[in-house]
Amino acid sequence: MSIYVPTYINRVISVWMRHRKCYFKNLLANGFPPFLEPLFFLAAIGIGLGKHIDDIMGIKYSKYVASGLLASTAMFTATFELTYGTFIRMHYEKIYYAMLCTPVGVAEAFLGEILWAGTKGFMFSSAVLITITMFGLVDSFWALLTPFVGFVAGSIYGAMALIVTSYVKDINNFNFYITGCCTPMFFLSGIVLPVDELPGILKKIAVFIPLTNCVNLMRALIIGKFDQGLVFDVAWIAVCLPVLVIVSICCIRKRLII
């Protein structure tokens, strides 16, 4: 009698489907608060403060901020999912140890995790896109591609969060990463002010923050204006994503073995 063994892709998808099923059981509680936060920021900073600020890069300040919030929403939702969420599944619920008793291996389990983080980036950037479209802050049909950039941003920051999770021993220590890394990246990535106006050393650092590259791509898609600088953004993202995914799986593998 032959034994059916799921393919590698099926094993990854099965992990993704597990997270999707659990998430949608409490969709309102899971999805509503993260969706509101960027809207409050847009209302207070983009629209409120924007009345007192001249146009930036030839566009209204509210539109400038709104286009960046799509990327930051993907970053934060993926970060929280693969820090606190993964830690709880690993340390308290022992979900991954149960998965490893099936044909699912470490690589498939956490590729599924990163795929789910990317999916949440896609969903939340789509939700923010719909909202800013209702505010009249979208100029181009190219904006329909921004959720796919949100997927990439979610995957990148999901992988980064997984690396952090592989070293954290106490759930409260995630505050250091959120406050010390994610928040500075938010302010340095060109969401609230142009990267070109940052001091010298910060400007050089900001160029290589993946969130900056995602913000540049999303802003170009929102306003429908493209320049040669986007080639670097695409190239850097194409380098960061596979490297971070590979490193994150190697790190979390060691954590599970330990």
- The confidence score (pLDDT) of residue 179 equals 92
Where do the domains of the chain lie?
A: 8-257
Q: What confidence category does residue 67 fall into, taking pLDDT thresholds of 50, 70 and 90?
A: confident
Q: What's the mean per-residue pLDDT of the chain?
A: 87
For residues 121, 11, 174, 219, the Cα torsion angle rounded to the nearest 10 degrees is -20
* In the predicted structure, residue 164 carries a pLDDT above the cut 90: yes
Question: pLDDT category, 34, cuts 50, 70, 90?
Answer: low
Angle, to 10 degrees, between the axis of helix 106-134 and the axis of helix 61-80?
150
* Residue 33 burial (C-beta neighbours within 10 Å; 0-12, 13-18, 19+): exposed
